[in-house]
Amino acid sequence: MSSELQRKHQDMDPTAIIEHLMKMFATQSMTARYQLSKALFGSKLIVNSLVGPYVNHMIDLIEELEKLGCKLGKELSEDLILQSLSESFSQFVINFNMNKMDCDFHEMFNMLIDYENQLASEKKKGTVMLVGNSSK
């Protein structure tokens, strides 16, 4: 604590000090929470961007919000990450939800990396899905 801050609080009891400090810094906390939640809820993976750094960033935002006392919960946090992925991950999202995966963020992160690698290898092989009707 700075010497000026110590002088201001020298005649206060601990409860009063805590209340005063909370009032002083509450606005900063609210602003930080707002900025973090804005970044989190507004995030969207850009097509052809790597999923790893993106999901790491999302996890960091969620953990920072939790440090500020804003607990989103596991399910909502997972949903936010899944909903922010690009359309190329739609099959992953369907499988994840249908199989009711129970994993932590880091396991989800690894699954997304594996899926991205699988997509890349299929693209390199030139796997093409043909859709059409057969008229005889």
| Residue 130, pLDDT score | 45
What is the per-residue pLDDT across 104-121, written as a single tens digit (0 to 9) for each?
999 999 999 999 999 988
Give CA–CA dist 3/22, Å, rounded: 18
pLDDT tier for residue 127 given thresholds of 50, 70 and 90: low
pTM of the model: 0.70
| Mean model confidence pLDDT for the chain | 84
| CB environment 63-73: b (16+ within 10 A), e (fewer) | ebbeeeeeebe
- Among 80, 78, 85, 83, CA closest to 108: 78
Half-sphere exposure (Cβ direction) of 106: Cα atoms closer than 13 Å:
1
Are the CB atoms for 58 and 84 separated by under 8 Å?
yes
| Residue 40, pLDDT score | 94
What is the per-residue pLDDT across 33-88, written as a single tens digit (0 to 9) for each?
899 999 999 999 999 899 999 999 999 999 999 998 889 999 999 999 999 999 99
Are the CB atoms for 112 and 51 separated by under 8 Å?
yes
Mean pLDDT lowest among 22-31, 54-63, 93-102 = 22-31
| Residue 135, pLDDT score | 52
Give CA–CA dist 80/60, Å, rounded: 13
